[in-house]
Amino acid sequence: MELFKKAKKIRLRSAKDKYLVADDDEETVFQDRDGSSENAEWEVYTAGKTHVRFKSYYGKYLMASNAPFLQGIKGKKVLQVDLKPDLDGSVNWDPVSDGSLVRLKTHTGSFLRPNGGVPPWRNTITHDTPHRQKTQEKILWDIETVESLPSYQKKDFNIIDI
């Protein structure tokens, strides 16, 4: 959580060196090897003591939806949405540290997951609960800080100790 408290904008990079990218349809997200575009940058907002929210280049928030990615498959869609009253916590993500990497946990206990393989899975993003050890490693994300929040010090405000 400390990393997110200091960051204004980040990039999320998966174990396969692909970045979480907001699609220009302003609804879907996907993975891309090119993380240099603005739509691979996410603004970070803290939500309470343990949660963060991610805002895309298009002004939408990363949300763990209840909609299945494919019928009969357990992974669920991750979307960009307008921020409305978040009654169920679907735009809140709980970062779980694992060394220098993080797992991003949803309000339901599932994790942000990059998918690979053949279409329709290739370069998609879902959320689910992995059960195999190999899958546990796939849900780890490296956080690249693009822009940090300014560090406020006493001298910045000309505060005088009395």
pLDDT in tens, 44-72: 999 888 999 999 999 999 999 999 998 76
Q: What's the token pair of residue 95?
A: 């970062």
Is residue 152 scored above 70 in pLDDT? Answer: no
Asked, for residue 129, whether it belongs to a domain, the answer is: yes
Which residue carries 């909609």 as its tokens?
67
pLDDT at 150: 84
Asked, for residue 131, whether it belongs to a domain, the answer is: yes
Asked, for residue 132, whether it belongs to a domain, the answer is: yes
Asked, for residue 96, whether it belongs to a domain, the answer is: yes
Asked, for residue 72, whether it belongs to a domain, the answer is: yes
pLDDT tens digits along 83-93: 988 778 999 99
Which residue carries 């001298």 as its tokens?
155
> Regarding predicted confidence, which is higher, 116 or 25?
25
125 Cβ partners below 8 Å, 6+ apart? 20, 29, 30, 31, 78, 112, 113, 114, 115
60 Cβ partners below 8 Å, 6+ apart? 22, 26, 27, 80, 81, 82
Dihedral, CA of residue 140, residue 145, residue 149 and residue 151, to nearest 10: 100
Asked, for residue 77, whether it belongs to a domain, the answer is: yes
- Provide the domain count of the chain: 1
Coil, helix or strand for 138? helix
Q: What is the CATH number of the domain that holds 57?
A: 2.80.10.50
pLDDT tens digits along 2-11: 778 889 999 9
pLDDT tens digits along 66-124: 999 987 677 999 999 999 887 789 999 999 999 899 999 999 999 999 998 888 889 99
Asked, for residue 156, whether it belongs to a domain, the answer is: no
Q: Which domain holds residue 12?
A: 2-149
Q: What is the DSSP letter of 27?
A: S
Asked, for residue 160, whether it belongs to a domain, the answer is: no
